[in-house]
Amino acid sequence: MTIEIAIKQQRPFPSHRQGAVVGLLHTADVVGRFVDAVIAEHGITGQQYNVLRILRGAGEKGLPTLEIADRMIQQTPGITRLIDRLEAKRLVSRERCKTDRRQVFCRITRVGLDLLARLDAPVDAAGEAALDALSITDVKQLTKLLDRARDRVHQHIATKRKGVTA
């Protein structure tokens, strides 16, 4: 199904790039909801799952709250509230840094690790199912194309921050 059919667009896009951007955004939403449905069965959201995976990767040392926010797949202004919810579920713990009281380190708990262990296989299966219409060669090419597009967007953002127009 084309993106035009999927979103019931009557007119063609003004350019192929605009159509591709809409297709990318729509596909990201569809795949995200598909994977989030698997995660929701375990009582957490996709963003909470992302935080738990980040903290599992950080190990026992944990990470400061803002570092977690920087590593998120989807940026969120409410990282503190997100971690509050995870702490209320006993999935993470927080501790103020002894040398810099402004900094709070977050760590995944045993309960959080156990939840991730239960989620690993179903989330992996959902990811595989989401892209099973593509060959491995297609997936590798898609990954390279997405990397190039994301790198270019980062370049545009950096250029705008410097006050220079591209």
**What 3 state SS string does 16-51 have?**
HHHHHHHHHHHHHHHHHHHHHHHHHCCCCCHHHHHH
- pLDDT above 60 (res 14): yes
pLDDT, tens digit, for every residue of 44-70? 999 999 999 999 999 988 999 999 999
Distance of CA 139 to the CA centre of its chain: 18
pLDDT, tens digit, for every residue of 152-162? 999 998 988 88
For the entire predicted model, the pTM comes to: 0.86
- pLDDT above 70 (res 164): no
Look-up of token digits 């989030």: 36
